[in-house]
């Protein structure tokens, strides 16, 4: 995901390479059911893989709220229903993540976890690579802890 500053607000743009004409990224990835599958696998892996312990610890005791918010956000970001915006308004991703301590470890574990989730749910490798590049840029922007 690409971000840019505009009047002190972060704007979120679609991935740099658009979906085929007439299709959104949401369509290409497989719609709502596929986004749900991806998000569920992402959070399941966070609970299962010990090398993601720092990322898991940053989420508190329950992943339920984070699971729903990421699903809502990704649906809209990929060109599907704007569930997140309807509930909360503009994503303001960095501002909403400031209460959480995010450093390079959490950034890297988030990207690794999403990469594993995409692979395990069968996201086409070229699409997964493009998405991971966008996710890395956003995850890097979220860092708020000096190391």
Q: Tell me: the pLDDT tens digits for 24-72?
A: 999 999 999 999 999 999 999 999 999 999 999 999 899 999 999 999 9
How far apart, in whole angstroms, are the C-alpha atoms of residue 103 and residue 133? Answer: 18
* Cα 59 to Cα 80: distance, rounded to the nearest angstrom: 26
Residues 6+ apart with CB under 8 A from 82: 75, 76
In a domain, residue 3? The reply is no
The answer to whether residue 19 scores a pLDDT higher than 80 is: no
Asked whether residue 119 is assigned to any structural domain, the reply reads yes
pLDDT above 70 covers a percentage of the chain that reads: 86
Rg of the chain taking only CA atoms, in angstroms: 15
Query: Residue 65's domain spans which residues?
Result: 23-142
CB 110 within 8 Å of CB 55: yes
Predicted model pTM: 0.83
**4 confidence band (pLDDT: 50, 70, 90):** very low
The answer to whether residue 57 sits within a structural domain is yes
> Does the structure show a pLDDT above 90 at 22?
no
Nearest one of 97, 121, 102, 95 to 43, comparing CA atoms: 121
The number of folded domains in the chain is: 1
CA distance 129 to 123: 10
98 occurs within a structural domain? yes
């Amino acid at each position: 995901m690409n971000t840019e500053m505009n009047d002190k607000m972060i704007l979120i743009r679609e991935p740099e390479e658009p979906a085929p004409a007439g299709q959104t990224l949401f369509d290409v990835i497989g719609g709502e059911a596929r986004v749900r599958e991806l998000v569920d696998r992402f959070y399941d892996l966070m609970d299962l893989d010990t090398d993601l312990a720092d990322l898991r610890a940053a989420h508190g005791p329950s992943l339920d709220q984070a699971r729903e918010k990421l699903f809502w956000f990704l649906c809209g970001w990929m060109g599907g229903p704007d569930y997140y915006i309807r509930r909360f308004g503009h994503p303001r991703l960095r501002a909403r993540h400031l209460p959480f301590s995010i450093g390079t470890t959490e950034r890297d574990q988030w990207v690794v976890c999403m990469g594993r989730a995409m692979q395990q749910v069968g996201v086409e490798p070229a699409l997964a690579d493009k998405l991971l590049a966008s996710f890395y840029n956003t995850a890097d922007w979220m860092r708020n802890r000096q190391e």
